[in-house]
Chain A
Amino acid sequence: MDFTSSSSSSLTFTDFLDRMRHPASVDLVRSIKSFIVSFSFHSANSENDSKRLQDFLLAMETTIKDHPLWAGASWEEIDNAIEGLEKYVMTKLFSRTFACSPEDAKSDQEISEKIFLLQHFVRPEHLDIPAVYQNESAWLIAEKELQKINAFKAPREKLLCILNCCRVINNLLLNVSISTNHVPAGADDFLPVLIYITIKANPPQLHSNLKFIQLFRQQSKVISEAAYYLTNLISVESFINGLDANSLSMDANEFQEKMQAARLAKAAQVAPRNISTPRDPQPVYCDKEIHMGGRHYPFMEAEAGKLTVEDVHKLLSVYKDVVNKYSVLCQAVRGLSLNKEKLPVALRGDLCDCILEHPRADCNPAEQDVVEVEGTKEKEKETVSAGLL
């Protein structure tokens, strides 16, 4: 499958920006800017925002097709312009449109935590994945593709991460079917492997990413193969959310026990030496770990040289926990007034200051397409003036 075929291979985002810098496209630039600015007049609402974006892309497609700068342009060139436009606009509107409601943040956290527990004990056999498909190196590549999803802000690129992951799985299944002379694998084989890989990968903000792609990828591109594989990951999300004792090839009691053990292991990982007990109601500083709001953050005084591999595992899980909470907090703060005095008391303090000073801290540094319309550097200011906060 050639997922990139829908968007030109040789043309790039830079080509799009170059065209936009051309004096003849000043009218287009104006519509784009006013479209972005227009969002500041409405409060964030994913359904409405999605509709506005989709309508805008359609309208712009017509405009571009008739535009002198694209006179005689090939289908690829027009397509590249729309792709560039989608990427440009969605990068600008990212913090408004991605994981923008507390419900989304909650769904992200819930599935991530559930996957974290499942990772402790779910094996391929529990999903009846035949041994012939158990190929650690291929699976690792597929996992990595999924985990890349937050390295991009553009819906197309996020979708590509999913499609790449699915392609790796399909290649594996195809090779196995060739070497064993079996019927090429269908959904019966594909879906369980995708579920397993998703559990292994625990991709960041899975729910929000899926929602974002569905709402903000131009609709004419969410068809055929892309739609099929996106639907598969959506159904994986649904499967994992509903996953209970009956969903796996595993004794129901054993499942409950394993889940319980995983919960305990998780608690122990975060607070290896101090599981708080009722007798210890107000832990503040204790054994060099910081306890905040009932959560435990070990290693605050640790020295790098003395960490064991085991410690690194723990650190990683603490780190993930902190990042999750930080993201949720950022989301919550963004929804509030920027007037510090009006923030809930619980949010005042160092962390709060830090968020207010870095209003775009949620933006992923990995995505650094410096978008310069009209050749001017307007990045941050423009984003803020467009009312994205």
Chain B
Amino acid sequence: MGCSSSLPDRNNGRLGVLSSENSGVADSKNLRVKLVLLGDSGVGKSCIVLRFVRGQFDPTSKVTVGASFLSQTIALQDSTTIKFEIWDTAGQERYAALAPLYYRGAAVAVVVYDITSPDSFNKAQYWVKELQKHGSPDIVMALVGNKADLQNNREVPVQDAVEYAEKNGMFFIETSAKTADNINELFEEIAKRLPRVSSS
């Protein structure tokens, strides 16, 4: 099934000058940010990214073939742009050991679970621990509870995730790729949390 539904309305900007040390910055006005997606298969990683990449800017902009690597540039108010280069990872158990090859050098890790699946929340915690152990120390981590539209089937209480995120110094948001709820907010918040340029 497709990720479906209404286009999200997007408002860009509102963000300060940003940069990132370890993600291959193009120049101080145009930043490239490597973002890696982690989480169980089926939690909605692909849908979140497709929603973000297709749902904004001009719809004619060609989407790169294949959904395992996608990029999307957002413009900030101060005419800075951030190009998110989004690396998908295979969520199947047998590939778990390969993940470090993908998150090496990433400026951002987005760890996704499905709010209707406690298993996927456990798996998310596993990834957070892995990143803390092996990721770069200044990596920006986001915990994302997806499928927030399925409130009636919720099995992971918001409070559990909030507490877990707080304890681990990461930011937490619930999204729905289906309704587009909080998808743009997720990436805007990430942009805000990227290490700032040390003005020289």
B-binding residues in A (CB < 8 A): 1, 128, 166-167, 169-171, 173-174, 177, 181-192, 223-225, 228-229, 231-232, 234-235, 238-239, 242, 246-248
Total A-B pairs, Cβ < 8 A: 96
Complex: A235 Cα to B97 Cα, angstroms: 9
B residues in contact with A224, CB < 8 Å: 32, 69, 71, 85
Tell me if A239 and B98 are in contact (CB < 8 A): yes
B residues in contact with A231, CB < 8 Å: 87, 101-102
A185-B68, A231-B101, A235-B98 given; name 5 further pairs at CB < 8 Å.
A1-B65, A173-B66, A183-B46, A190-B68, A232-B68
Tell me if A247 and B94 are in contact (CB < 8 A): yes
> How many residues of B sit at the interface, in one of the four size bands?
20 to 34
Complex: A169 Cα to B66 Cα, angstroms: 9
Complex: A167 Cα to B49 Cα, angstroms: 20
Tell me if B102 and A246 are in contact (CB < 8 A): no
A167: contacting residue among B41, B45, B65, B89, CB under 8 A: B65
Complex: A223 Cα to B26 Cα, angstroms: 11
Nearest-neighbor residue (CB-CB) of A175 within chain B: B65
Complex: A1 Cα to B65 Cα, angstroms: 6
A181: contacting residue among B1, B32, B89, CB under 8 A: B1
Tell me if A235 and B50 are in contact (CB < 8 A): no
B8 within 8 A of A: no
Complex: A232 Cα to B69 Cα, angstroms: 11
Residue-wise, chain B 79-94 has the 8 Å CB interface mask toward A (1 for contact) of 0000001011111101
Tell me if B69 and A225 are in contact (CB < 8 A): yes
Closest CB in chain A relative to B110 CB, distance in Å: 13
B residues in contact with A229, CB < 8 Å: 69
Tell me if B98 and A238 are in contact (CB < 8 A): yes
Most chain B Cβ neighbours within 10 Å, of A170, A191, A228, A239? A228
B59 within 8 A of A: no
Closest CB in chain B relative to A207 CB, distance in Å: 14
A residues in contact with B65, CB < 8 Å: 1, 167, 170-171, 174
Tell me if B66 and A184 are in contact (CB < 8 A): yes
